[in-house]
Amino acid sequence: MNAVCSGLAEVRPMDGPSNENSQRTCSLKYDEYSALTDLSMTHDYQQLIDIFNRCFSDEYNTQLVKGDDEPIYLPADEQFSYHRVIFAHGYYASGMHEISHWCIAGEERRKLVDFGYWYCPDGRDALTQSQFEVVEIKPQALEWMFCVAAGFPFNVSCDNLEGDCEPDRITFQRKVREQVLWHLENGISSRPAGFIQALQSFYNTPPLVPALSLTRKI
């Protein structure tokens, strides 16, 4: 692994098979990302690809790939000798989100297409929306820290534009924030910790502390 990706001082193991509800967390709506094009000069998707691949290509045989459709994780197969984290349409924010899911997935889930989750489309009812939010807290907490480390805006996503219920965005945001605080107090596992350090090195951002991580505009 590249030296800059050696990880932060405090790490806790979090890489085992996931015990999360086996509901595939839904992809974010990518028109949200198009509003971030003013950052394309300083945050180009190729930068994210290069940083991720330097960190994880050798040790985990995994590469970040720009896709032309919806995001998906594909394990190695007869056509590709490496695992692929495919993000949508070159959107930097999509890349961050998919990386966060990869960092949550344990070794067994990383052998499965899309980590073995079933896809739950937009248009959820209140119960399904609450289930979606439960499994999105941990990845969006990592995504928040990644974005701060890269100096890139972060927005929580409830992702239910066509549903018959109005998501409680503020409550969900607070839950994600609490998870970020937990990581900062208890430690971050090796893969996300190494990626955070690599982002900080590339974008010349300071170490994560609670005030820095949670006061950035969302």
The whole-number average pLDDT for the span 179-203 is 97
pLDDT beyond 80 at 132? no
pLDDT in tens, 17-26: 443 333 333 3
pLDDT beyond 80 at 168? no
pLDDT beyond 60 at 86? yes
**In 61-125, which residue ranges form alpha helices assigned H by DSSP?**
92-104
Between 171 and 190, the more confident residue is 190
Structure tokens that stand for 31 in this block: 């028109």
Q: Where are the domains of the chain?
A: 20-215
pLDDT for residue 126? 66
The whole-number average pLDDT for the span 158-180 is 74
29-33, 40-44, 213-217: range with lowest mean pLDDT:
29-33
* Maximum average pLDDT range among 1-15, 33-47, 65-79: 65-79
Using alpha carbons, select from 144, 72, 78, 155 the residue that is nearest to residue 114.
72
Scan for tokens 């502390």, then name that residue.
209
The whole-number average pLDDT for the span 75-96 is 98
pLDDT for residue 24? 35
- Summary mean pLDDT of the chain: 79
The whole-number average pLDDT for the span 44-54 is 99
Percent of residues, the chain, with pLDDT higher than 70: 67
pLDDT for residue 30? 34
pLDDT-derived band at 180, boundaries 50, 70, 90:
very high
Between 38 and 203, the more confident residue is 203
3-state helix, strand, coil in the chain (%, to 5): 50, 10, 40
The whole-number average pLDDT for the span 25-50 is 61
pLDDT beyond 70 at 73? yes
- In this structure, the number of other CB atoms found within 10 A of the CB of residue 110 comes to 20
Between 68 and 167, the more confident residue is 68
Q: Specify whether the CB–CB gap between 91 and 45 falls below 8 A.
A: yes
